[in-house]
Structure 1
Amino acid sequence: MRAEVTVLKRHCVSAKHVKRSQLSEKGESTPSLVFTFKEAWEKHKDYKHWIGRVAEDDSKAYCVVCQVQLNANLSNLKQHNRSASHQSKLLLSEDDFNNTTDHEEHDKDNSDDDGPKYSTVTVNRCDDLNNIKFTDLRIQEDNEEPAESHNSETPYKVFRVKPTRPTSTPYTSSAGGKLPTVEEEMSCQAIVTQTAPSWKGKAVVNGHVREISLSDYKGRYLVMFFYPQDFSTVCSTEILALGDVLSAFRVINCEIVAVSVDSHLAHLAWTKTLTGSSGGSRPAIDASRIVPLLSDSTHSISKTYGCYQPSVGHSLRAYYIIDKRGCLRAMSVSDIQVGRNLKEILRLVEAFQLVDSTDTQCPVNWTTGQPSVKVAL
């Protein structure tokens, strides 16, 4: 109760309350709020990309993105700028600008040592201010005369619009290197018959952490075996099964590297679990039976090879066969619920090695020991 009385006392002595009380005693009406458009808003970092002036009405501001009029009041501008619908439309308009075919030329023409210049946007509209329908939109350069409306009786508005960030300037990391764009980051560079994308990273090999790269396997066949996550049930069965057939691959001069988005520390802990050295119930096996586990914690390798699934943050089940020249010969990407047939991968490696050495081709359902087919001239 005491706190409420204090609030009432403060309100009664406020200048606004006293002034309104005096006007009421004199029988005068309280003055209405007066809104005035400020030129500084057109240069403010939060408003300059979307705010515009309404012709012959300084009490209004105009949002060129949402196509609505606002009272020229700072609180109204702040509230509109924070709204979700405005922010989403602002992002869409920025993407549209960056995706135009002539945006590079636009940036070049509108930039100098002092930064990008302003251009003028002329918008013809109907007379209904509450339901604006755009009939024409064009960019007017600073040295041009003001554009006339298609209909002399239809008023037009002129807005000052500053271009968004220059697309010609590349983003750089703190280390000084250029960061890839979203398109470059998500693009698959693994193409059969072409050179396999290079990679390097930390891996757990024979129970120890070391750095490996694709160039380490030059002169040998290599199977890159992508799996979703350490410690998962199906992935555990695949890695243990790879250990059972690893010797069969090495006999034909082929190595296997398993890849996931887990860190090298997670790989090391998982290796100890798989080998039984962590004290679990599993019978102990030698760490040499676990294929090298490569860490792709930045997702760069799985994105480059086209098997990364951004919605879940890990790769799909995939394998890639790379020959001794570094050329990608086969690839397979599948959903995560079903494990792979290791005998089929071994069959493919043997088939590619056969056709490489004999200049022949393998027919349907070919298996080791069956004859190949001569290439028809």
Structure 2
Amino acid sequence: MVTINSSIKPFSADAFHNGKFVKVSDADLKGKWSVVFFYPADFTFVCPTELEDLAENYATFQKLGVEIYSVSTDKHFTHKAWHDTSPAIGKIQYVMVGDPTAEIARNFGVLIEEAGLANRGTFLIDPEGKIQYIEITAGGVGRSATELLEKIQSAQYVASHPGEVCPAKWKEGSETLKPSLDLVGKI
């Protein structure tokens, strides 16, 4: 099972990105912050709302130095067809990874084996290729790009400020905590 601070497993896949078919591998996720965003399938209902939300906030992810990789068990050809026909999906500028063998979904522990589909899973990967955030939701529960951005900002802050932690509802610029014996029982 994938856990916090575990390293991502090797993979290689075909993807659709900015009008082209490209190869993507685990090496592409290293050296920068990355979000691997699993969803069940193209041409569905909740999925396009989530992917459109990411697309509409993509510039903010980019400002934070974060690349997005959406992944489903569809082929990269299907991603292109969906991109070309759906107004919501047509907004996407991030990488859409095809995982028809389900290797990536299996590696991240989100594969629904009997269906051959991925659960809704979000993974934040740090520049060393280690998982810093995991969210997995039920099929009918969509995710929010704004909430994900807040988690990324917290994770990036903690990574660049050893000894500090971000409390609940932390926003960029807010006070953090420095765990110590002096704080025990005082919060």
TM-score (norm. length: structure 2): 0.90
Q: Let me know the Cα RMSD of the aligned residues.
A: 1.7
Matched to 2:140, the amino acid is Q
> Which residue is equivalent to 2:142?
339
Give deviations 1:132-177, integer Å, cap 9, x for gaps: xxxxxxxxxxxxxxxxxxxxxxxxxxxxxxxxxxxxxxxxxxxxxx
Out of 37, 52, 56, the residue aligned to residue 225 of structure 1 is: 37
Partner Cα separation in structure 1 for residue 64 and residue 144 of structure 2: 18
Partner Cα separation in structure 1 for residue 140 and residue 85 of structure 2: 22
Corresponding pairs, count: 180
Partner Cα separation in structure 2 for residue 291 and residue 232 of structure 1: 19
Q: 1:227 Cα shift?
A: 0.2
Q: Is the Cα–Cα contact under 8 Å of residues 308 and 314 in structure 1 kept in the other structure?
A: yes
> Which residue is equivalent to 1:197?
9
> Which residue is equivalent to 1:264?
76
> Which residue is equivalent to 1:292?
95
> Which residue is equivalent to 1:369?
173
Structure 1: runs of 5+ lacking an equivalent: 1-187, 276-281
CA distance 1:206–1:371, change in 2 (3 Å): same
- Give the SS at the match of 1:366: coil
Q: Is the Cα–Cα contact under 8 Å of residues 124 and 131 in structure 2 kept in the other structure?
A: yes
Matched, 1:357 2:169: no
Partner Cα separation in structure 1 for residue 155 and residue 134 of structure 2: 13
Structure 2: runs of 5+ lacking an equivalent: 182-187
Partner Cα separation in structure 1 for residue 178 and residue 84 of structure 2: 48
CA distance 1:274–1:291, change in 2 (3 Å): farther
Partner Cα separation in structure 2 for residue 310 and residue 285 of structure 1: 29
Which runs of 4 or more aligned residues in structure 1 lie more than 6 Å from their structure 2 counterparts after TM superposition?
Answer: none
Matched to 1:247, the amino acid is A
Highest CA radius of gyration, 1 or 2? 1
Q: 1:218 Cα shift?
A: 1.9
Q: Is the Cα–Cα contact under 8 Å of residues 34 and 67 in structure 2 kept in the other structure?
A: yes
> Which residue is equivalent to 1:41?
none
Greater RCO structure (CA 8 Å; 6+ sep): 2
Q: Is the Cα–Cα contact under 8 Å of residues 239 and 291 in structure 1 kept in the other structure?
A: no
Percent identical pairs in the alignment equals 29
Q: Is the Cα–Cα contact under 8 Å of residues 30 and 129 in structure 2 kept in the other structure?
A: yes
Q: 1:223 Cα shift?
A: 0.5
Q: Is the Cα–Cα contact under 8 Å of residues 242 and 290 in structure 1 kept in the other structure?
A: no
Q: 1:352 Cα shift?
A: 0.8
